[in-house]
Amino acid sequence: MQKQPGFLRQELGRGYNLIFQETWPAWISGIFLAILALILFLWWHTWGVAGGFSNWGQWIYYLLGIDESAPQKGPLLQGMSVSNIGLLVGAFVSALISKQFALQRAPRLEYLKGIVGGALMGIGAALAAGCNVGGFYSALGMLDLGGVMMMLGLFAGAYLGLQYLLWEMENLEQGGAGGESSPKKGGFDWKRAGPYIGGLFFLLILLAFQTYSWLGYTKMGGVLFIGFLIGMVMHRGRFCFANAFREPFMTGDSSMMRGVIISLIIYGFGAAAMKWSFVQPPGAGVYHPFWLGSLGGGLIFGFGMLLAGGCASGSIWRAGEGHLKLWLAVLGFFLLNYPTSRFLDQSGIKEYLGKGIFIPAILTWQGGLVLFILFLLGLFILLRWNEYTEKFVAF
């Protein structure tokens, strides 16, 4: 038998192309995302993003002297903040290795849309007690009825956001989109050096995990690492909830939303197994304000994510890929999220927004799970039907 020369090199090349060259189909990313969200749930807590942003906002206001009391935990020890950092670094590493990292500048109007969109997402997430991840994806996965309401709100908000973008396209002409965008000539060649820098950051994340462990915070180290993997998976699949809620109205395409649905089915069943067997408490992650908070929050959030061009998680991974507009979206988000939550709390409005309703507590586990599946399958079929008929496509 003839020994193939360079076998290892060939296999590595194939593996590289498969993982870092091609964009993963949405359903593949969805499956991986569900697995990682379940591992995170088992290891620590339900996955969320807005809680981490709220922590950052709280620190900023405290350091500026606007808020008197310091947050209980620092950004490196607050779970959602740590998983957000992991997500950002994961996307950054993934973008570097796949040679897609570039500092992307945008026309001025886009920056404005980034920060306003981020701010609206921050307000919406405060109302819904979570963003597209905590308030929708995790809420639904945890069988919290608030997740369903936020989903309806997100669809409505995305539709209105799309209407705005269409209006903007007709009425506000963006001058010189091209000139501002491309990186300066003679600058640093990220594409060439990317895979090596990415590899270095991967080692740094492992070192950070180990350091957390040494300091007695193994759990947080794990959260960072799982967040990192989530960032990689989301970037490789360009997994985007803004896309999922927008495309059925924009082009009719529903592949991203179908990826979200497949992901939710796995996440929901996995979480149910953990809760039903009391590995985790049944009420874990059930606190989303049904119905007013989740619906209204979803609406505002949905509109904001269309302006920003990314949801909470999508803004982080796009920021990791180098889009400056999405950095502003993250900034707008955390600057508005915390004060809005505080206002809702102190004014007593929060009382009227609703409370968490655990579906199996009303319908039993069996009934709740059957309804959960039927609901998602119904949505799946509706989206496919819209793909063929384009009934919901706005223009």
Partner 1 sequence: MSTEDIQADTVLDARGLSCPMPMLKMKKMLKSMQKDQILEVLSTDPGSKNDIPGYCEKQNYKFLGYYDDPEDFTRYYVQT
Residues lying near partner 1 in the complex (CB under 8 A) are found at 23, 95, 100, 102, 104-107, 110, 165-166, 169, 174, 177-178, 180-183, 185, 238, 240, 242-243, 246, 250-253, 255, 306, 309-310, 318, 321, 323, 325-326, 387, 395
**Which of 275/323 has CB closer to partner 1?**
323
Exposure pattern of 92-128 as b/e (b: 16+ CB <10 Å)?
bbbbbbbbbbbebbbbeebbebbbbbbbbbbbbbbbb
Task: Count other Cβ atoms within 10 Å, centred on residue 15.
Answer: 10
Smaller CB distance to partner 1: residue 22 or 345? 22
Where b means 16+ CB within 10 Å and e means fewer, 286-300 reads: bbbbbbebbbbbbbb
Cα dist from 304 to 55, 113, 177, 184, whole Å: 20, 9, 22, 31
**Quick one: 144 or 321, whose CB is closer to partner 1?**
321
Cα–Cα distance for residue pair 43/355, rounded to 1 Å:
26
Q: How far is the CB of 253 from partner 1 (least distance, A)?
A: 6
* For residue 59, cis peptide bond before it (omega within 30 degrees of 0): no
- Of 147 and 302, nearer to partner 1 (C-beta) is 302
Shortest separation between residue 257's beta carbon and partner 1, angstroms: 14
- Can you read off the two tokens belonging to residue 31? 């499956």
CB of 204 to partner 1, least distance (A): 24
CB of 169 to partner 1, least distance (A): 6
Residue with Cβ nearer partner 1 (148 or 240):
240
How many angstroms separate the CA atoms of 258 and 253, rounded? 10
Token pair, residue 179, equals 């000139």
67: burial class by Cβ within 10 Å (0-12, 13-18, 19+)? middle
Residue nearer to partner 1 on the CB measure, 75 or 107? 107
Min dist CB 310 to partner 1, Å, is 7
Provide, rounded to whole angstroms, the least separation between the CB of residue 34 and partner 1.
21
Q: Which is nearer to partner 1, 177 or 207 (CB)?
A: 177
DSSP 182: S
Q: How far apart are CA 62 and CA 363, in angstroms?
A: 44
State in angstroms the smallest separation of the CB of 248 from partner 1.
13
Q: Are 298 and 153 in contact (CB under 8 A)?
A: yes
- CB of residue 236 to partner 1, shortest distance in Å: 11
CA distances from residue 161 to 247, 254, 309 in whole angstroms, order as listed: 12, 17, 10
CB of 52 to partner 1, least distance (A): 23
**CB-based burial label for 22 (10 Å; 0-12, 13-18, 19+):** exposed
Closer residue to partner 1 (CB): 74 or 175: 175
CA dist 73 → 47, 174, 184 (Å): 18, 43, 40
- Mention every residue, 6+ apart, whose C-beta is less than 8 A from residue 57: 122, 334, 335, 336, 337, 338, 339
Q: What is the DSSP letter of 348?
A: S
CB of 243 to partner 1, least distance (A): 7
For partner 1, give the closer residue by CB, 18 or 70: 18
Map residue 358 onto helix, strand or coil: strand
Nearest residue (CB) to partner 1, 211 versus 389: 389
